[in-house]
A and B are shown apart, each in its own frame.
Chain A
């Protein structure tokens, strides 16, 4: 019996393509104009606090949270609000946004914020402070961090898993920040542990990142209940459910949250931002992203203000004419973007500009399923993607959800990645889930 020490069963090994692993984080020049989407997170969209022509300083709150599951937005540049209306979001919808034009005379160095003494805060106050920073899960999910820090009533979190796996190919942001800014990450971990009352924390890092393992281990202060775990390099190691299996050998119950088994799971980038912003009382205005892929002339890791149009980023790093696809996030789970007008959002951990040659997706002929069972052997959730795919083609969506656990699928893409018949399984599942949601809503 094979025991999966430091990993989880199934999964895939895509080529890692981490070309930018050695590229030190650079800061891009400020863009002339930014577009702040009011819904960059999961939950209620923020409500604009500014109107056309208001002047804002850098880091000033420009939109407030609506309710608990929501976060405020802050101005990433000092300038003048030019419009509060619609802009294209990464999902290809028109959504509410605030547009700010840079003020050439304004001071871009000074950042709005009120430093505070964190030691004196109660956990609840700390969580409120986290909400005020506008921090969301920066790994890609964009779930408000403070909501995660407050487990549902009756549940408590005693173990923290810090996700430094970065199992998606190409992406190197988490790696770079773990190498370059490990101290602030540790600060973030300690703050979150304090707020949640967690007793220990594990920093989970895949074993293809020895530098990060070393740097994080070095940054842990003596005696702190924080340890580094080296995990097997495998996709999707960075998923919450996989992490809890790999690190703690526990399963998150189906349909449940990690807090059901006393686990909280946070991305290193999120914790870095907390470690950086909380003591100064500032808001989230920029993030580090990897810009990579064959369509980019100067791939690297860049610190970029939120709301920067992708067109501007592409002008800065140089886009080749062969570029055919721009992906927000990694190639396995990322969203392809329909336009360069879309602004950078909190949930974008990378921008991949792929060429025809690199994509090799969808373009291939779709063959009938030959029941090779590779998808069954790849699915980390132990579903039967082949069967689900057949049901989806017959539009038996309810049956998929009720009898074959469709809703446990988190669309990691392993099944589609390995399918020799080029069947767009994940796309089928997304359609099925959307149809089920719509049917539920109709009821």
Chain B
């Protein structure tokens, strides 16, 4: 009884086993695909943010490119230096770490210095507002201040300050470029942190017109270009820094700026104004002898605006 049960069970299983083993052997031969196991290892170390800053479609695509030797681990700007080192060491390749790059905003016109002359109603988004009569800010080139860039930053590196102007946290910024794409006024760009001389204004207006819109607008006086002639030139009415000659982009260039449109970005991300600009700005923000400073200031502006 036991013997027969055993032999039946064993026999059936054996036969089945043999038959299926043959099928498996064929399948193994025909369908085998080799995938480099190192791809998984590299991908596991990447931050999985899929931010696209490296130029590839997500972290896995980047890992594949690194394995193929088409990309250097350092191209992942979202990884910490340790991670990049570790990937490079694992693969035995050069880390290819470049200089840290960050997003910079070419506008300083927060609500404290730049006027809004129309009140936008509707969806709270820069993109939406920019399509409705430009967003209602007097300076039509500057930041609208509804924080679309903050919403798309995957690294929590952008925050709105109390004047509705985004501030880049350069320690967290990985230069992924999402804000560059998102900003409807195209105010962001990616720069190495060694680009310290920074034109923080995008207006095309000149002199009085620019000043009427925003206290920190570039008035196109060209004093910065005079102070650092090798690196700074005037294009229309805005100074342009030639970062190819970054060694000539000296700090002296900001000292004579009357409005603070050109400034100096410290390596830790602090923005420094020239002495003259700081004094001028101080006067705008805290006008002397004016307890009712808000209304009198805006009235004065209106009068000048009407007569001009």
Direct contact of A and B (CB under 8 A): yes
Contact residues of A with B, CB < 8 Å?
A: 85-86, 88, 90-94, 335-339, 361-363, 424, 427-428, 430-431, 434-435
Complex CA–CA separation, A93 to B185 (angstroms): 11
Asked whether B134 lies within 8 Å of A338 as measured between CB atoms, the reply is: yes
| Chain A residues whose C-beta falls within 8 Å of the C-beta of B141 in the assembled complex | 94
Which of B118, B136, B140, B209 is in CB contact (< 8 Å) with A93? Answer: B140
Closest CB pairs A-B (n = 9): A92-B134, A92-B133, A338-B118, A338-B133, A362-B121, A362-B122, A94-B140, A430-B131, A338-B136
Which of A86, A88, A431 is in CB contact (< 8 Å) with B127? Answer: A431
| Chain B residues whose C-beta falls within 8 Å of the C-beta of A362 in the assembled complex | 121-122
| Chain A residues whose C-beta falls within 8 Å of the C-beta of B122 in the assembled complex | 362, 424, 427
| Chain B residues whose C-beta falls within 8 Å of the C-beta of A428 in the assembled complex | 123
Asked if B90 is at the interface (CB within 8 A of a chain A CB), the reply is no
Question: Which among B133, B135, B136, B209 has the highest number of chain A CB atoms within 10 Å?
Answer: B133
Contact residues of B with A, CB < 8 Å?
A: 117-118, 121-123, 125, 127-128, 130-136, 140-141, 184, 204-206, 209
Write the chain B residue with the least CB distance to A328: B133
Question: Which among A335, A338, A362 has the highest number of chain B CB atoms within 10 Å?
Answer: A338
| Chain A residues whose C-beta falls within 8 Å of the C-beta of B118 in the assembled complex | 336-339
Write the chain B residue with the least CB distance to A439: B181
> Known: A86-B209, A94-B205. Is A427-B128 also a contact (CB below 8 A)?
yes
> Known: A339-B118, A362-B122, A424-B123. Is A92-B209 also a contact (CB below 8 A)?
no
Secondary structure of the B contact surface, majority rule = loop
| Chain B residues whose C-beta falls within 8 Å of the C-beta of A85 in the assembled complex | 206
| Chain A residues whose C-beta falls within 8 Å of the C-beta of B205 in the assembled complex | 86, 94
**Measured between C-beta atoms, what is the minimum distance from A378 to chain B in Å?**
20
**Measured between C-beta atoms, what is the minimum distance from A199 to chain B in Å?**
41
Seed contacts A91-B134, A431-B127, A434-B127; 5 additional CB < 8 Å A-B pairs: A92-B130, A92-B132, A94-B205, A431-B123, A431-B128
Asked whether A338 lies within 8 Å of B131 as measured between CB atoms, the reply is: no
Write the chain A residue with the least CB distance to B138: A339
| Chain B residues whose C-beta falls within 8 Å of the C-beta of A335 in the assembled complex | 132-133
Which of A91, A92, A431, A434 is in CB contact (< 8 Å) with B136? Answer: A92
Asked whether B121 lies within 8 Å of A92 as measured between CB atoms, the reply is: no
> Known: A338-B118, A434-B127. Is A90-B133 also a contact (CB below 8 A)?
yes
| Chain B residues whose C-beta falls within 8 Å of the C-beta of A430 in the assembled complex | 128, 131
What are 19 A-B pairs at a CB distance below 8 A?
A85-B206, A86-B205, A88-B140, A91-B134, A92-B134, A92-B140, A94-B140, A94-B141, A94-B204, A335-B132, A336-B133, A338-B133, A339-B117, A361-B121, A362-B122, A427-B122, A427-B128, A431-B128, A434-B184
Complex CA–CA separation, A85 to B204 (angstroms): 10
Complex CA–CA separation, A434 to B182 (angstroms): 12
| Chain B residues whose C-beta falls within 8 Å of the C-beta of A336 in the assembled complex | 118, 132-133
| Chain A residues whose C-beta falls within 8 Å of the C-beta of B133 in the assembled complex | 90-92, 335-338
Complex CA–CA separation, A338 to B137 (angstroms): 9
| Chain B residues whose C-beta falls within 8 Å of the C-beta of A91 in the assembled complex | 133-134
Complex CA–CA separation, A429 to B135 (angstroms): 17
Complex CA–CA separation, A279 to B121 (angstroms): 46
